[in-house]
Chains A and B, each alone.
With several copies, the nearest count.
Chain A
Amino acid sequence: MSVSVQEADFDTGAEIAALSRNDDGAGAVASFVGLVRGGSDGVGAMSLEHYPGMTEKALAEIVAIACRRWDVRRVRVIHRIGRLLPGEPIAFVGVASSHRGDAFAACEFIMDYLKTRAPFWKKEETATGSRWVDARETDDAAASRWGAAEGRD
């Protein structure tokens, strides 16, 4: 159950391998990589601000909720901060479980909750200046479909 907030890139293959290493009861590893999208609207780079101190606590709490709800063996969450270019990875969530249903559900749950509860904010650089990214209503919808959260929403 390991959480990292870092500027550095991460090694997706190594992170996934570590989730089942020396644990031959781990039959399923589900993972997710979120990347900076670029392109049509001229986004040249993305800067990620966060709330040091709270960020790590929020991520650990989200992981703890997932571990109570599903049968998971290991969880790894990495979220990058600082300036990132289109195509670069922003976030990684990996979950090892005995069975794939739990691995998939816990992994998607953690991403959905991270999107609405972990204190990160994205600012996009465009040709005409920079702008803060607006929160998407679809993210609230994605998080709420997991049902009532433990604790305050």
Chain B
Amino acid sequence: MIKLLYFASLRETLGVAGEEIDASGCTHVQELRAHLAARGGVWNVFATSKSLRAAVNQAMAGADGAVKDGDEVAFFPPVTGG
């Protein structure tokens, strides 16, 4: 199982803050994105958004970031703190 978290405008777009999924076929962030986009509807944002960021186990990760069972993976828009 992979724990997924969604933040800020992405959370509102999806209507969900997080979930646990079985995504044993996904070994990288980009595969996880494709897996989620395949749900269609609002989940298309994972295919269409160029600005979406990801973190794996609470560290920023690129599209090629490795993902494995038990990881916590978060998706969110560019940060705007400070």
List, in ascending order, chain A residues with CB within 8 A of B5's CB: 51
* B23-82 contacts to A (CB < 8 Å): 51, 55, 58-62, 65, 74, 76-82
Q: Once the chains bind, are B82 and A34 in contact (CB under 8 Å)?
A: yes
Interface size bracket, A side: 20 to 34
What is the size, in residues, of chain B's interface with A at 8 Å between Cβ atoms? 20
Q: Once the chains bind, are B81 and A121 in contact (CB under 8 Å)?
A: yes
List, in ascending order, chain A residues with CB within 8 A of B7's CB: 49, 51, 119, 121
Closest 10 CB pairs of A and B: A120-B81, A135-B78, A121-B8, A54-B58, A132-B9, A115-B82, A133-B80, A122-B80, A114-B82, A91-B82
Partner-A contacts on B (CB < 8 A): 5, 7-9, 51, 55, 58-62, 65, 74, 76-82
Partner-B contacts on A (CB < 8 A): 34, 48-51, 53-54, 57-58, 79, 90-91, 100, 111, 114-123, 132-136, 152-153
